[in-house]
């Protein structure tokens, strides 16, 4: 992709960097209240989580460890419905209050599988915080504990979210097309 094509594809900003930072304060408070000083393990699902997870971590004041997983479930702009764990966590989750920090819930398939896998490892507790949710796209029944922003059925990039691995470094969330 050349530079012109890259820039022209960004149609409009739908959530600004300032709006994200404001909501992160509430998300941090939600986690702090939930755990009341108890240590947590923040789990991010790569690659999309890397910006969000870093910001969530900086907005919580409970003691916090970080771990990553990776899963493949998406090609281009269409979900395949298949989920493959390509990188796993090598810790005993039964010792942890686990909080999954996800970038976006679309059909819900990725998170449903990951939630089930982590639940089977008997964490002390398990919660899910997501930056974005597209409730109208849901194909499986899955309840998230905390959502920063609900968005309509539109493909977005930025703040960790990609299109063919580009745009993850944008500080805002934008529609492309």
Residues that bind ligand IMP (CB under 6 A): 48, 73-74, 79, 103-111, 155-157, 161-162
106: annotated active-site residue: yes
Q: What is the spatial distance between Cα 123 and Cα 58, in angstroms, rounded to a whole number? A: 23
Nearer Cβ to ligand IMP, position 62 or 71? 71
Nearer Cβ to Mg ion, position 35 or 167? 167
In the complex, least distance from residue 73 CB atom to Mg ion, rounded to whole angstroms: 8
Q: Which of 55, 103, 106, 133 is catalytic?
A: 106
Cα-flanking dihedrals φ and ψ of residue 87, to 5°? -150, 135
In the complex, least distance from residue 128 CB atom to Mg ion, rounded to whole angstroms: 17
Residues present in the chain in total:
177
- Inter-CA distances, 22 with 16, 84, 99, Å: 10, 34, 20
CB count within 10 Å of CB 102 equals 24
Q: What is the spatial distance between Cα 64 and Cα 43, in angstroms, rounded to a whole number? A: 10
In the complex, least distance from residue 22 CB atom to ligand IMP, rounded to whole angstroms: 21
CB nearest Mg ion: which residue? Answer: 48
Work out what residue 55 binds among ligand IMP, Mg ion, none; the CB cut-off runs from 5 to 8 Å by kind.
none
């Amino acid at each position: 992709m050349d530079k012109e094509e890259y820039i022209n594809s960004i149609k409009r900003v739908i959530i600004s960097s300032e709006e994200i930072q404001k909501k992160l304060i509430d998300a941090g408070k939600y986690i702090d209240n939930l755990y009341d000083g108890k240590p947590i393990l923040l789990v991010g699902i790569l690659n999309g989580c890397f910006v969000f997870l870093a910001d969530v971590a900086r907005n919580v004041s409970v003691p916090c460890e970080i771990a990553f997983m990776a899963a493949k479930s998406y090609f281009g702009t269409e979900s395949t419905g298949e989920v493959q764990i390509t990188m796993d966590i090598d810790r005993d989750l039964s010792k942890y209050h686990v909080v999954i920090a996800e970038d976006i819930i679309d059909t819900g398939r990725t998170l449903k599988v990951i939630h089930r896998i982590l639940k089977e490892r008997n964490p002390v507790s398990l919660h899910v915080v997501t930056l974005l949710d597209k409730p109208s796209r849901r194909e499986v029944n899955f309840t998230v504990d905390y959502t920063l922003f609900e968005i309509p059925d539109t493909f977005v990039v930025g703040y960790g979210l990609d299109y063919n691995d580009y745009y993850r470094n944008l500080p805002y969330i934008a529609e492309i097309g």
